Amino acid sequence: MMLTGISGLAMSPADLATNELFVLVFLRGGADGLQLVAPVNDRHYFADREQQLRVTDQGDNMGLILKNGLGTVDFRLHPAAAPLKELYDANQLAIIHACGLKNGTRSHFDAQDMIEKGIQHKQNITEGWLARYLNTLPNKTNFSAIAAGAAMPLSLWGAPTAVSVNGLGDFALQADGHFNNLIRQAYSDQSVLGRTALQTFYTIDLLQKKIPRRGNGEAVPYRPEGNGAYMEDDFGKSLKNIAQLIKLNLGLHVATVDYGGWDTHEYQAYRFPGLVKSLSQNLHAFYNDLHKYHGRLTVLVMSEFGRRLKGNKSNGTDHGYGNAMFALGGNVNGGRMYGQWKGLETENLDNGVDLSVTTDYRNILQELLSKRLRAGEHLPYILPSYNAETPLNFLL
């Protein structure tokens, strides 16, 4: 017997306190924001970056022009991000640049740990910021929070109703009918383990009943709406699973997706376009697939830090600091960039080598929590030791 596709606990169905849908996409490894959203007319960017590691205003690496940038800087999306450009031009996507942690760490472990806990410096805190938010809600369902993938991200640690789903087809008790019944009977007592098992079985049964099936019991293959063309990679499959769960009306409120591979110390020129293509095409497909939910949906894309301005000797870039974040949704003030851009002159760089952080990442989380997730009075608990700053107003 094997139980796959699930971790955490499930609760009895109840109405959610809010009908908002929030999806957090975390780019693991430190995405290069200076190649993803590039200041192509900055002479320091041009001088300090090898041609193959920068976006240009002409030629083979010519970027996609962004309207409503920051100041007089000519910001452009990476050429592989055409689907994101379409969403940006439709005012559904906003970009916040030069943001992140303000403590200067360049450690993957430390940066991810702090960002996912919603803190700025190491503290004796074990819960993730999303878990703390979920714990403020009076009512939750069996599927209030979903982590797409085999592992539960730190942002959801401490949320008793969070469920990890690697694939809807795997979300089942892998045993024949007789053995299945024996297992359920074995965990029918009122101990903590028994109650947890019963909640787990209930969650599995609920999902299996919701999945559309043919007359022979075979699950009907999922068909995206709105010409949503997901790629057949892990990131695309994760987003497609989330879209299907939303449409099954199981009470999904928060979902997280990890997209790894962004630690481009080597061969970045070869690897980066594929990463950007998957990010761009799959987010575009996901958003079109959920066209009926745009008024409730907000997607936030972030990474633990950016990359250095100058490339290294291995045709890559090393751990940096400031980075770009994306916000996508029907209540996003899209089609423009947000933040403060100091420029790439040496005196304006962090330690003379990295893009400086001018917007604390928690300012972005604060606006999301306040305007879309309605968590106002709970902000000091969700984002401890954070003094609220003036919102950027990238959300309605």
Domain residue spans of the chain = 2-382
CATH architecture of 2-382: 3-Layer(aba) Sandwich (3.40)
Task: Please identify which residue in the block is written with the tokens 């599995």.
Answer: 204
With cut-offs at 50, 70 and 90, classify the pLDDT of residue 176. very low
For the chain, the average pLDDT equals 87
Residue 221 pLDDT: 81
Residue 179 pLDDT: 45
Q: Which has more confidence, 176 or 378?
A: 378
* Averaged pLDDT for residues 8-33: 74
Task: Indicate if the pLDDT at residue 107 is higher than 50.
Answer: yes
With cut-offs at 50, 70 and 90, classify the pLDDT of residue 186. low
325 CB-near residues (< 8 Å, 6+ apart): 95, 96, 99, 300, 301, 302, 361, 364
* Averaged pLDDT for residues 360-375: 97
Lowest mean pLDDT among 153-162, 171-180, 185-194: 171-180
Residue 13 pLDDT: 36
Residue 199 pLDDT: 58
Say if pTM beats, i.e. exceeds, 0.95: no
Task: Please identify which residue in the block is written with the tokens 């028994």.
Answer: 194
Q: How far apart are CA 69 and CA 50, in angstroms?
A: 24
% the chain with pLDDT above 90: 70
Residue 383 pLDDT: 97
Task: Indicate if the pLDDT at residue 173 is higher than 80.
Answer: no
* Averaged pLDDT for residues 152-167: 86
Residue 11 pLDDT: 37
Residue 174 pLDDT: 41
Task: Indicate if the pLDDT at residue 8 is higher than 50.
Answer: no
pLDDT digits (tens, 9 = 90+) for 226-282: 887 999 999 999 999 999 999 988 889 999 999 999 999 999 999 999 999 999 999
pLDDT digits (tens, 9 = 90+) for 62-97: 999 999 999 999 999 999 999 999 999 999 999 999
Task: Indicate if the pLDDT at residue 348 is higher than 60.
Answer: yes
pLDDT digits (tens, 9 = 90+) for 197-218: 555 555 666 666 667 667 676 7
Task: Indicate if the pLDDT at residue 7 is higher than 60.
Answer: no
With cut-offs at 50, 70 and 90, classify the pLDDT of residue 190. low
Task: Indicate if the pLDDT at residue 142 is higher than 60.
Answer: yes
Lowest mean pLDDT among 12-26, 261-275, 309-323: 12-26
Q: How far apart are CA 196 and CA 161, in angstroms?
A: 11
With cut-offs at 50, 70 and 90, classify the pLDDT of residue 104. confident
> Residue 113, exposed/middle/buried by CB under 10 A (0-12, 13-18, 19+)?
middle
% the chain with pLDDT above 70: 83
Q: Which has more confidence, 253 or 18?
A: 253
